[in-house]
Amino acid sequence: MSGIYARQARPARRIAGMAASVAFISATALLVAPSPAQASPPTPIAASTARTYLGQLTERAEGSSSGYSRDLFPHWITQSGACDTRETVLQRDGSNVVTNSSCAATSGSWYSEYDGATWTAAGDVDIDHMVPLAEAWTSGASGWSTAQRQTFANDLSQPQLIAVTDNVNQSKSDRDPAEWMPPSASYHCMYARMWVDVKHHYDLSVDSAEKAKLQSVLNGC
């Protein structure tokens, strides 16, 4: 009889072991499950509203860049759990993004609205500040507190952050729309709407050339 019970116990142990394995795999899957594709940056104002807002912005020559440093705009702060701002935007703007336990994207795909390119490595993607930090500095942010500049640099509620091709973002650098527009002409209207939306929300000024370019683009929307 003891032999019979011994033979019956082995399958039970195997079942218990299998259950433990399934539980382990399920727990691991939670760490690397693909995030659902989400919307790109918050939808900006309509072109008609952007034209109105543009007329409300203070027009003046750009201020001095003296004293500017990116460090004065603390960015990529923790947004939720282990995820910082960059990682959060990568998940928001990507498709089928898989992250590890540290929130780093290990796979997925990202479509860059600026140039129409699609990337499958997070390292090929930059998170662009729609209104660059240096541009904000010369448009009024030099007088902000560090806390205000941190909010600006990590703002997920305004169309201020967008995942784009890294070298395209680098070609933009700190330039305003009078000096640079996305290579994809079909995105110019959206770009102008986003730019004006952010500047209006943060009460930043525009210079004459910048305003003229934005008016021209928005009139064609």
Query: For the whole model, what pTM was predicted?
Result: 0.82
Q: Give the pLDDT confidence of 35-85 residue by residue, as tens digits.
A: 433 446 888 899 999 999 999 999 999 999 999 999 999 999 999 999 999
Residues in Cβ contact with 19 at an 8 Å cutoff, skipping those fewer than 6 apart: none
In the predicted model, what is the mean pLDDT of residues 207-216?
Answer: 98
Q: Give the pLDDT confidence of 6-37 residue by residue, as tens digits.
A: 333 333 333 334 333 333 333 333 333 344 33
User: Which amino acid is located at 29 in the chain?
Assistant: A
Burial-class residue 83 by CB neighbours within 10 Å (0-12, 13-18, 19+): middle
Sole residue written with tokens 């923790």? 78
- Given a contact cutoff of 8 angstroms between Cβ atoms, the answer to whether 152 and 159 are in contact is no
Q: Give the pLDDT confidence of 85-135 residue by residue, as tens digits.
A: 999 999 999 999 999 999 999 999 999 999 999 999 999 999 999 999 999
Q: So what's the pLDDT on residue 33?
A: 38
Q: So what's the pLDDT on residue 24?
A: 35
Q: So what's the pLDDT on residue 41?
A: 80
Whole-number Å distance between alpha carbons of 128 and 105: 17
Domain boundaries, the chain: 1-32, 35-219
Residues in Cβ contact with 167 at an 8 Å cutoff, skipping those fewer than 6 apart: none
C-alpha of 212 from chain center: 27
Whole-number Å distance between alpha carbons of 52 and 4: 86
